[in-house]
């Protein structure tokens, strides 16, 4: 009986491969902080923070360490593939550590080292940048992390989520993956990034997508259908809330939020209407978070008698 | 004696909070010492991004023992009294001390170790620390009761005379170890004592002195600029900010693509400063570059960005212009500084290319086209859109010019009317065209500028950098080739934005700036959004101050009481129908909500309110205007008092003129105040004031009525429901005039009024007895001085009015010396009281001397 040859993965090369940079971050956070490595949330969303692994898991007393890539869609940032820095679809790398460990900054800096940033060669700075999302009823204090003057990461200690105090506080790291990769690979155009070490570029993967999606976002998307989608998502969110399934409700809030962004990109929402739509999205998101926290409270209280929701 | 070191180490403290945190730490620490009875000596504080520290020198090692003595009852007092006292002080009878027949409780408090005092004080200081924003963190934050700090607190050093002062807060125990520079030093740093703190940290690549880091940045940035043959644009705010972002600051110079210099220098500077915290440089050699018209460099301006150029768009070319260079401040001695510089250059390039994109994009559309989008921006939900506002401002600006309030050649300060000179009222200069613009009158230009002045609010550039509002509009107008008066006015119409800011003097700019501020003020007063206490969300105080400054500096003869009527006409005409209707309704409620019984009759003319509203729309109109006007004028009066007080004018003198009421011409009012100030400080003035007060006291005792006198030369101040300003003289006017004349300004320039004023002061009745010489002298002096003073007031020759009053000083002194007012004969007594009243009223017509102190 001959044993099958053992598979030994090739060493990661984050300086020459976008995907290796991501895989290195997975390796790092899995090993150093015991993170669960999740896959992206399978819905269109504007930021990694919308992932339930961040928002909903920031609520409650249970420890939670997770890391994942989340594709983000910002329709108004589309530039038809013509701008070297702006994309309507890009990646964020999210790490959420609850409660925030006392060495979280050191862990983060070590992760930068893992993907090839030497802090004596590059000027790393923590510059005040507090975060607030009225939509999620959330805020936190933290920094934007600069590397030679470029913002490469948002670093936030969540203080509130869904209108509730975070007990305990979670630390959230959001790496801008394309920016970091451009920095590490030394390229000036995002489409020139090496996606892997085998000659496939970021442009090979995404350039045509940017062209078509920018056109669709700005010019094509049927606005009547979008208004309809918004209304349906809103209604479905309410339906799910009244049925006591707040996670499903939260998904519909995320959907409504993205449809609103699309309507914005189509330029069919006036200044006055804008505030009203934002208020509606906020109401959905907060109601969902609230309902989730309330639904989970008996379970949480049972495990953590000293903990209370408010 | 010992030195004490406290270091509170945490994750990066926001740069902007560090200077205040140093002060707070010193204050809280000094308070804690004082409370414990320890002398507060020299305290020095330090702040870096990662630590807040304090060194207190020469602390005693223990507090002094204190003997506290409490007085008790007398010896032999009832036992209940003694028992009560013993319970209170917690002693037994034997422990009391007897002195002079009285019991005393003496409690000796031994001295405490300073270390013990500090061990208690440190956690208290940490808990009480007033960070502008603080947070919870870590496992302990399972409870909201956990410790709060600006960012997670990670270590405490507390060393008294080199020994650890043991204390603990939320699991963090004090010790003697800290951390050095985040990247240049690894492992803990051990501090021996307070004296070695600074140098030990320096060895670990931390410059702990905030001011030393500031100096390193200030000098270092200037040096790298000079080495490149450039001059750094000094910016103390940036120095402080970068000092708050670094423990080991290293200024580095980089270059950006010269092509970006097409973008206005203010935009480049702001992009570099706000987004990246970089300094910019000028290409001129050292020393040449400091010709900043806005007066940079003073300590008071330290936190504000200096403005690089310029006297106006377009930017001046030549050696004084912005260079394609920036200075960033790294926090490391980089292995290869060029790598750091190159990274920063790329970021700045991306920012600048955004800025250039905005700059070019904005110019593809004319300002007039941009302005159309203002109809989509709400100014205030009750006041319509910004486009509505612009329309009102344009009409107001035109009116200000056409009515000759703003003219082509404003009087230089101190020389205009109301300053005691004989200068006549300026002629109406419209429609005389400006020399520089064929055919366009001042009013045309003012209206044009006003219509475009807010257009830049919808440009991409101002969307990105709101602080460039006005300035960008000025640039775009100049690029479009609009008249320079118009582009200047667009650029400067927000000025002055506070005490000390430059006040516009160019006529078109003055008209637009004044119209804009008047509209803002009147709009918010109309919807009853007035500032209250410390709340002034719409910056109306600043608007009023701006109006006052514009009027003063340009000697504008603006009757403030006339403005609301004009404004309201524009407003009413321009507002969308339903909005106007709603606003009218609200003002009706404000006015008629609690009608004064007396005024109700006047206002409603016997009709039901509803019927009245229907049939007398025009009259209502005046009523509305009257309501706004009253409160606006009061508001101006308050602002003026504050402003003049700050300018060193005695507040009692301002009060003395304000108390006369009815004055709505600020130039004239201030001329009177200033003349009064000059007069009351003379010997004549002081003595006349004494005479006035004596006369007024006598009259007051006798309940002698006061004749009202108003400062204004007109009855224009139609405040409702108050009686019109000239009610005292013109009794026939009953509330709202019923003559069909609806313009309360109708009497503004009525020359008869002046004569009535003058005459009413000299109606001396014939005496039935022979007056004493001193009495006669006062009568004669009054006969001469009262009309002279009154006429001088009419002619706005206030110094002359004071001089006329000065002639009364000797006669009034003599009168009081020689004449008995309280004569036995009732007739004499009445006549003399009347004489004193005449004297008092004559003086009062110039100013209300009863308000003057001294």
**Residues 6 or more apart whose Cβ sits within 8 Å of residue A288:** A162, A237, A240, A241, A246, A247, A249, A250, A252, A253
Q: In which element (H, E) is residue B817 found?
A: helix B809-818
- Is the CB of A79 inside 8 Å of chain B's CB atoms? no
**Closest in B144, B154, B339 to A122, CB measured:** B339
Residue holding tokens 């997770």?
A: A66
**Residues 6 or more apart whose Cβ sits within 8 Å of residue B263:** B352, B355, B356, B359
- Is the CB of B340 inside 8 Å of chain A's CB atoms? yes
Contact A128 B342 (CB under 8 A): no
Contact A112, A136 (CB under 8 A): no
Residue holding tokens 């992932």?
A: A51
Q: If contacts are CB pairs under 8 Å, which of residues 125-144 in chain A contact chain B?
A: 125-128, 130, 140-141, 143
Q: In which element (H, E) is residue B645 found?
A: helix B617-646
Contact B143 A61 (CB under 8 A): no
Contact B519, B507 (CB under 8 A): no
> Which of A87, A103, A123, A154 is the best residue to mutate to test the B interface, defined by the most B CB atoms within 10 Å of its own CB?
A123
Structure tokens at B146: 């956990």
Which pLDDT score is estimated for B610? 43
- Is the CB of A150 inside 8 Å of chain B's CB atoms? yes
Structure tokens at B2: 């010992």
Whether the model clears a pTM of 0.80, i.e. scores above it, the answer is no
Share of chain A above pLDDT 90, in %: 85
Chain A nearest-CA residue for B18: A128
pLDDT in tens, B626-654: 455 567 777 888 888 888 888 888 888 88
- Chain B residues closer than 8 Å to A119 by CB: 182-183, 332
- Is the CB of A123 inside 8 Å of chain B's CB atoms? yes
- DSSP 8-state secondary structure symbol assigned to residue B411: P
**How many contacts, defined by CB atoms under 8 Å, are there between A and B?**
119
Q: How far apart are CA B677 and CA B655, in angstroms?
A: 12
Q: How far apart are CA A245 and CA A268, in angstroms?
A: 32
- Cα of A204 to nearest chain B Cα, Å: 23
Structure tokens at B844: 């009062």
**Residues 6 or more apart whose Cβ sits within 8 Å of residue A267:** none
Which pLDDT score is estimated for A296? 97
Which pLDDT score is estimated for B305? 40
> Which of B152, B153, B384 is the best residue to mutate to test the A interface, defined by the most A CB atoms within 10 Å of its own CB?
B152
- Cα of A156 to nearest chain B Cα, Å: 10
Structure tokens at B294: 């806005």
**Closest in B133, B154, B330 to A123, CB measured:** B330
Residue holding tokens 């904005």?
A: B362
> Could you tell me whether strands B97-99 and B153-160 are parallel, antiparallel, or unpaired per DSSP bridges?
unpaired
- Cα of B375 to nearest chain A Cα, Å: 11
pLDDT in tens, B681-703: 888 888 888 889 888 888 888 87
Which pLDDT score is estimated for B661? 73
Closest CA to B728 of B660, B626, B629: B660
**Residues 6 or more apart whose Cβ sits within 8 Å of residue B555:** B410, B411, B412, B413, B415, B416, B417, B418, B419, B667
- Cα of A31 to nearest chain B Cα, Å: 20
Residue A94 has pLDDT above 50, yes or no: yes
pLDDT in tens, B77-117: 888 888 889 888 888 888 888 888 899 988 888 888 999 99
The CA-based diameter of chain B, rounded to the nearest angstrom, is: 107
**Closest in B12, B133, B144 to A143, CB measured:** B12
Which pLDDT score is estimated for B289? 41
- Residue B543 burial class via C-beta count within 10 angstroms: exposed 0-12, middle 13-18, buried 19 and up: buried
**Residues 6 or more apart whose Cβ sits within 8 Å of residue B819:** B772, B774, B775, B832
Contact A98, A168 (CB under 8 A): yes
**How many angstroms separate the Cα of B242 from the Cα of each of B209, B213, B231?**
13, 9, 19
Which pLDDT score is estimated for B712? 45
- Is the CB of B581 inside 8 Å of chain A's CB atoms? no
- Is the CB of A166 inside 8 Å of chain B's CB atoms? yes
Contact B328 A149 (CB under 8 A): yes
Low-confidence ranges of chain B (pLDDT < 70): 284-320, 409-439, 565, 568-630, 706-766
**Closest in B139, B150, B348 to A168, CB measured:** B139
> Could you tell me whether strands B172-175 and B153-160 are parallel, antiparallel, or unpaired per DSSP bridges?
parallel
- Residue B256 burial class via C-beta count within 10 angstroms: exposed 0-12, middle 13-18, buried 19 and up: buried
CA B630 to chain centroid: 23
**Residues 6 or more apart whose Cβ sits within 8 Å of residue A231:** none
- Is the CB of A100 inside 8 Å of chain B's CB atoms? yes
- Cα of B120 to nearest chain A Cα, Å: 25
- Cα of B653 to nearest chain A Cα, Å: 50
Q: If DSSP codes are grouped into helix, strand and coil, which group holds residue B75? A: coil
Contact B135 A304 (CB under 8 A): no
**Closest in A101, A120, A272 to B378, CB measured:** A272
User: Mean per-residue pLDDT for A142-167?
Assistant: 95
Q: If DSSP codes are grouped into helix, strand and coil, which group holds residue A309? A: coil
**Residues 6 or more apart whose Cβ sits within 8 Å of residue A177:** A18, A21, A22, A69, A90, A91, A92, A93
User: Mean per-residue pLDDT for A212-230?
Assistant: 95
Which pLDDT score is estimated for B630? 61
Q: How far apart are CA B414 and CA B423, in angstroms?
A: 11
Residue holding tokens 């205030």?
A: B380
> Could you tell me whether strands B2-10 and B51-59 are parallel, antiparallel, or unpaired per DSSP bridges?
antiparallel
Which residues face A160 on adjacent strands?
Answer: A139, A165
- Residue A288 burial class via C-beta count within 10 angstroms: exposed 0-12, middle 13-18, buried 19 and up: buried
Residue holding tokens 């105040």?
A: B673
CA atoms within 13 A on the CB side of B231: 17
User: Mean per-residue pLDDT for A84-88?
Assistant: 90
Contact B154 A102 (CB under 8 A): yes
């Amino acid at each position: 009986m001959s044993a099958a040859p053992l598979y030994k993965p090739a060493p990661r090369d984050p300086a020459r491969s976008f995907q290796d940079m991501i895989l290195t971050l997975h390796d790092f956070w899995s090993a150093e902080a015991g993170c669960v490595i999740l896959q992206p949330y399978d819905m269109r969303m504007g930021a990694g923070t919308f992932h339930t692994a961040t928002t909903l898991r920031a609520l409650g007393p249970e420890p939670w360490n997770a890391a994942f890539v989340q594709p983000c869609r910002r329709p108004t940032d589309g530039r038809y593939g013509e701008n070297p820095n702006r994309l309507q679809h890009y990646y964020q790398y999210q790490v959420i550590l609850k409660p925030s460990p006392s060495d979280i900054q050191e862990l983060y800096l070590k992760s930068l080292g893992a993907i090839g940033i030497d802090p004596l060669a590059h000027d790393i700075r923590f510059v005040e940048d507090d975060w607030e999302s009225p939509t999620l009823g959330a805020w936190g204090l933290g920094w934007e992390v600069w590397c030679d003057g470029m913002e490469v990461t948002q670093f936030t200690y969540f203080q509130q989520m869904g209108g509730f105090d975070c007990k305990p506080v979670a630390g959230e790291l959001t790496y801008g993956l394309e920016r970091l990769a451009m920095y590490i690979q030394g390229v000036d155009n995002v489409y020139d990034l090496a996606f892997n070490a085998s000659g496939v570029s970021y442009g090979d993967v995404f350039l045509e997508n940017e062209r078509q999606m920018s056109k669709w976002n700005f010019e094509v998307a049927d606005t009547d259908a979008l208004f309809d989608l918004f209304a349906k998502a809103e209604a479905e969110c309410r339906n799910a809330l009244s049925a006591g399934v707040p996670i499903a409700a939260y998904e519909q809030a995320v959907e409504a939020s993205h449809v609103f962004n699309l309507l914005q990109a189509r330029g069919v929402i006036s200044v006055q209407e804008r505030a009203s739509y934002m208020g509606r999205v906020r109401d959905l998101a907060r109601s969902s978070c609230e309902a989730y926290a309330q639904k989970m409270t008996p379970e949480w209280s049972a495990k953590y008698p000293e903990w209370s929701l408010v | 004696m010992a030195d004490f070191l406290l270091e509170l180490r945490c994750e990066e403290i926001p740069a902007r909070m560090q200077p205040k945190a140093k002060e707070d730490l010193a204050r809280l620490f000094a308070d804690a010492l004082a409370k414990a009875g320890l002398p507060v000596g020299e305290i020095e504080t330090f702040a870096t991004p990662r630590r807040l520290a304090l060194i207190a020198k020469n602390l005693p090692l223990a507090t002094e023992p204190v003997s506290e003595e409490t007085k008790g009852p007398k010896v032999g007092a009832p036992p209940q009294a003694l028992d009560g006292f013993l319970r209170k002080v917690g002693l037994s009878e034997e422990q009391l001390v007897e002195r002079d027949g009285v019991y005393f409780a003496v409690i000796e408090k031994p001295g405490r170790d300073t270390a013990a005092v500090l061990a208690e004080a440190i956690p208290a200081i940490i808990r009480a620390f007033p960070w502008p924003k603080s947070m919870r963190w870590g496992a302990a934050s399972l409870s909201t009761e956990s410790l709060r700090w600006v960012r997670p607190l990670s270590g405490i050093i507390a060393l008294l005379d080199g020994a650890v002062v043991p204390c603990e807060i939320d699991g963090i125990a004090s010790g003697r170890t800290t951390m050095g520079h985040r990247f240049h030093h690894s492992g803990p740093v051990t501090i021996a004592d307070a004296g070695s703190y600074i140098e030990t940290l320096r060895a670990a690549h931390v410059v702990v002195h905030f001011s030393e880091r500031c100096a390193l940045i200030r000098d270092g940035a200037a040096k790298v600029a000079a080495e490149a043959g450039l001059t750094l644009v000094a910016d103390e705010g940036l120095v402080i900010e970068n000092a708050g972002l670094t423990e080991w600051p290293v200024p580095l110079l980089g270059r950006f693509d010269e092509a970006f210099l097409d973008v206005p220098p203010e935009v480049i500077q702001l992009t570099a400063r706000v987004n990246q915290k970089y300094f910019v440089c000028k290409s001129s050699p050292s020393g040449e570059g400091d010709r900043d018209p806005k007066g940079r460099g003073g300590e008071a301006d330290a936190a504000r960005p200096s403005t690089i150029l310029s006297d106006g768009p377009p930017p001046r070319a030549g050696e004084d212009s912005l260079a394609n260079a920036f200075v960033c401040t790294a926090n490391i001695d980089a292995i290869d500084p060029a790598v750091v510089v190159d990274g920063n250059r790329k970021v700045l390039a991306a920012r600048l290319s955004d800025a250039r994109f905005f700059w070019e994009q904005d110019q593809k559309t004319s300002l007039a086209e941009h302005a159309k989008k203002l109809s989509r921006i709400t100014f205030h939900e009750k006041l319509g859109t910004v486009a509505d506002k612009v329309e009102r401002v344009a009409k107001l600006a035109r009116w200000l010019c056409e009515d000759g309030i703003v003219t082509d050649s404003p009087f230089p300060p101190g020389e205009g009317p109301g300053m005691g000179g004989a200068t006549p009222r300026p002629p109406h200069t419209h429609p005389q065209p400006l020399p520089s613009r064929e055919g366009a009158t001042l009013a045309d230009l003012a209206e044009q500028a006003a219509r475009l002045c807010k257009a830049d609010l919808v440009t991409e550039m101002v969307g990105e950098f709101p602080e460039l509002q006005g300035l960008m509009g000025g640039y775009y107008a100049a690029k479009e080739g609009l008249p320079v008066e118009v582009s200047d006015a667009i650029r400067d119409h927000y000025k002055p934005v506070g005490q000390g800011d430059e006040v516009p003097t160019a006529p078109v700019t003055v008209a637009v700036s004044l119209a804009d501020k008047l509209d803002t003020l009147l709009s918010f007063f109309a919807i009853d959004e007035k500032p209250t206490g410390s709340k002034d969300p719409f910056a109306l105080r600043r608007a009023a101050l701006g109006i006052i400054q514009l009027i003063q500096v340009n000697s504008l003869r603006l009757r403030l009481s006339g403005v609301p009527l004009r404004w309201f006409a524009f407003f009413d005409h321009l507002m969308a129908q339903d909005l106007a209707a709603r606003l009218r309704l609200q003002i009706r409620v404000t006015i008629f909500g609690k009608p004064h019984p007396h005024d109700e009759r006047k206002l409603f003319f016997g009709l039901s309110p509803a019927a009245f509203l229907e049939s007398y729309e025009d009259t209502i109109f005046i009523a509305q205007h009257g309501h706004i006007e009253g409160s606006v004028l009061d508001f101006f009066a308050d602002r003026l008092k504050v402003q003049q007080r700050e300018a060193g004018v005695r507040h009692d003198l301002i009060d003395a003129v304000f108390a006369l009421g009815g004055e709505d011409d600020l130039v004239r009012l201030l001329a009177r105040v200033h003349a009064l100030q000059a007069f009351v400080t003379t010997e004549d003035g002081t003595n006349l004031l004494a005479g006035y007060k004596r006369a007024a006291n006598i009259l007051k005792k006798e309940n002698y009525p006061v004749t009202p006198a108003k400062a204004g030369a007109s009855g224009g101040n139609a405040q409702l429901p108050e009686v019109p300003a000239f009610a005292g003289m013109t009794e026939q006017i009953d509330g709202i005039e019923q003559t069909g004349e609806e313009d309360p300004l109708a009497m503004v320039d009525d020359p008869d009024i002046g004569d009535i004023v003058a005459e009413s002061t000299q109606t001396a009745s014939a005496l039935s007895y022979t007056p004493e010489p001193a009495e006669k002298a006062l009568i004669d002096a009054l006969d001469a001085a009262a009309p002279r003073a009154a006429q001088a007031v009419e002619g706005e020759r206030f110094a002359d009015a004071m001089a006329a009053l000065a002639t009364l000083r000797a006669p009034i002194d003599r009168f009081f010396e020689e004449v008995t007012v309280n004569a036995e004969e009732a007739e004499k007594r009445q006549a003399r009281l009347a004489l004193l009243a005449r004297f008092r009223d004559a003086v009062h017509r110039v100013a209300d001397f009863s308000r003057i102190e001294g």
